[in-house]
Amino acid sequence: MSAKTILVVDDESAIREMVCLTLKMAGFECIEAADASEAHAKVVDQKPDLILLDWMMPNISGIEFARRLKRDEMTAEIPIVMLTAKGEEDHKIRGLETGADDYITKPFSPRELVARLKAVLRRALSNSDQSAIVIQGLELDPVSHRVSVNGAPAEIGPTEYRLLQFFLTHQERAYSRSQLLDQVWGGNVYVEERTVDVHIRRLRKALGKDYEGFVQTVRGTGYRFSTKV
């Protein structure tokens, strides 16, 4: 398998050099851009697998550039990880609402950076299959982002949809709450583990009595999706 290419967008050359050195040592290909204009040209020409994007940049901010990428169907599916010194919760939420897949606050360790990027790339890969998933009358269509139960549309929120998609592509395995946070929410530390329980209840309600039992509680561990009783 060829190495994944990561575009590092930061107006500080020292940061770009340090990050690219770390990424190359971890086996990634690395390309650089100093601002949004240069980054956009490289996105179009080189089609990176992931964009590591600084929040604070001249002319066009990282958050505005991320918003533009997510609006364009040609670039909307490229994972974006925001890199910034801003650590406040409201900034994290703004970045994630824009469509960023994760958020890394400076200063960070090289090991954390590599681990977070690998996690985002794994999630992007697992979501890349666009074929519908059908389990005993329960259907999830990743193209239309719709869920149906025995042919009838299910009222399901965006977080419950992502939870269900993860469960359907990872059946029969128990996951802890922290693992689900990492896989579904992106490992964002401001989300508390009990939030998972709230969304599990909402997911079960959306699935209805015929399917709610497929989302099983595993005592002492967390949750799993299984059609087995």
Architecture of domain 133-225: Orthogonal Bundle (1.10)
- The reported pTM is 0.57
Q: Which of 42-51, 95-104, 163-172, 209-218 has the lowest mean pLDDT?
A: 95-104
Asked if the domains at 5-126 and 133-225 fall in one CATH topology, the answer is no
Tally the C-alpha atoms within 13 A of residue 56's C-alpha that lie toward its C-beta.
9
- Work out the average pLDDT over 151-171: 89
Query: CB within 8 A of 67, min separation 6: which ones?
Result: 98, 99
- The percent of residues in the chain predicted with pLDDT above 70, rounded, is 88
Instruction: For residue 188, name the pLDDT band (cuts at 50, 70, 90).
Output: very low
Contact, 206 vs 155, CB < 8 A?
Answer: yes
Architecture of domain 5-126: 3-Layer(aba) Sandwich (3.40)
DSSP per residue over 71-112, as a string?
Answer: HSTTTTTS-EEEEES---HHHHHHHHHHT-SEEEESS--HHH
Helix (H) or strand (E) holding 196: helix 194-207
Q: Rounded to an integer, what distance in angstroms lies between the CA atom of residue 33 and that of residue 37? A: 8
| Residue 48: per-residue pLDDT | 93
| Residue 73: per-residue pLDDT | 73
| Residue 189: per-residue pLDDT | 47
Show me where the domains of the chain are located.
5-126, 133-225
Flag whether pLDDT at 221 surpasses 50: yes
Instruction: For residue 89, name the pLDDT band (cuts at 50, 70, 90).
Output: low
Look at 76 and 164; give whichever has higher pLDDT.
164
Residue environment code for 193-209, b if the CB has 16+ CB neighbours within 10 A, otherwise e: eeebeebbeebbebbee
pLDDT in tens, 51-76: 999 988 888 888 889 888 888 877 88
